[in-house]
A and B are shown apart, each in its own frame.
Chain A
Amino acid sequence: MIQAPDLPVWAALLVGLLVLAGAAVTLVGSLGLLRLRNFYQRVHAPTLGTTLGTLLIALSSIVCFSVLRSRPVVHELLIVVFVTLTTPVTLMLLARAALYRDRIAGSTDVPAAELEPTER
């Protein structure tokens, strides 16, 4: 750790493990984009990166800078909060666009439009 020479071994280990775990969870989510079958299934996978992946990497940052500065540094939690609050916007937009496309294409795999009064 050239960038953080003052970090004790136990903290360096903890930070490294947390970053690795967060990166691994995000990687699994990205693999889901390849492995899952259709659009509606694939859109679930990246949520792993935006929840547990972000949380673990933010935790490692909290541990690292709290130890380095010898005081609690917790503003990284705001990243977790903001990511959680903003993902629904894009996900809903994507899901509804896909639903609209599939209905126009006459797909039988999606719920029909007659139950939605606003689209009549």
Chain B
Amino acid sequence: MTRWLPNPVLTAALLAMWLLLSQSLSPGQVLLGAIAALLAALGLAALRPEPIRVLAIRPAIRLAGLVLADILRSNLAVGRIVLFRKRETVSGFVRIPLDMTNIHGLTVLACIITATPGTMWVRFDRATGALMIHVLDLVDEESWVRLIKDRYECLLQEIFGP
């Protein structure tokens, strides 16, 4: 955005975090939190020049709901594999061609894939846009490619841009 407020979304989120941690809405805490959030946002802008732009809020809310539901579902699925599965579970690596190049979108995707039990981000090649993930219960590679691309990637592109 401007030189003194490079990441308004991040600054607001950091201020909210500060107020939650201090559990108070007193003017002193708001001022202190605002200063800390502003300094942190300036520091990030120096380290990572690409600003965070949130283009749309609605897909972000939808994504948060989807991810929460997926995390709960895969917790149950992985728990079932650990407790009851007698036969050998087939797991393996899946290569996914991504169209998204925005680093913030990729960061969020990494958090989603890793936080969901049963899938793990292994490596991403910026040159080719190829993402490699490891899947615990691999039945069909193509369905995983479709899942990541249709469920998460297009929403993330709506949020952060291509």
Measured CB to CB, the residues of A under 8 A from B are: 25, 28-29, 31-32, 35-37, 40-41, 43-45, 47-48, 50-52, 73-75, 77-78, 84-85, 87-88, 91-92, 95-96, 99, 110-111, 115-118
Which of B82, B88, B117 is the one whose CB lies under 8 Å from A51?
A: B117
Given contacts A25-B79, A118-B127, contact A40 B121 (CB under 8 A): no
Given contacts A88-B121, A118-B127, contact A52 B71 (CB under 8 A): yes
Mostly, the B contact residues are mixed
CA distance A35 to B125 in the complex (A): 32
* Contact size range, B: 35 or more
CA distance A32 to B95 in the complex (A): 25
Cβ B122 vs Cβ A92 within 8 A: yes
Given contacts A41-B91, A51-B117, contact A117 B125 (CB under 8 A): yes
Q: Looking across the interface, which residue of chain B has its beta carbon closest to that of A94?
A: B120
Tell me, rounded to whole Å, the shortest Cβ–Cβ distance linking A83 to chain B: 9
Cβ B136 vs Cβ A44 within 8 A: yes
B102 at interface, CB cutoff 8 A: no
Q: Looking across the interface, which residue of chain B has its beta carbon closest to that of A34?
A: B82
Interface residues of B in 83-142 (CB under 8 A from A): 83, 88-89, 91, 93, 95, 110-111, 114-123, 125, 127-128, 130, 132, 134, 136
Q: Looking across the interface, which residue of chain A has its beta carbon closest to that of B94?
A: A111
Query: What residues on B are CB-neighbors of A43 within 8 Å?
Result: 120, 134
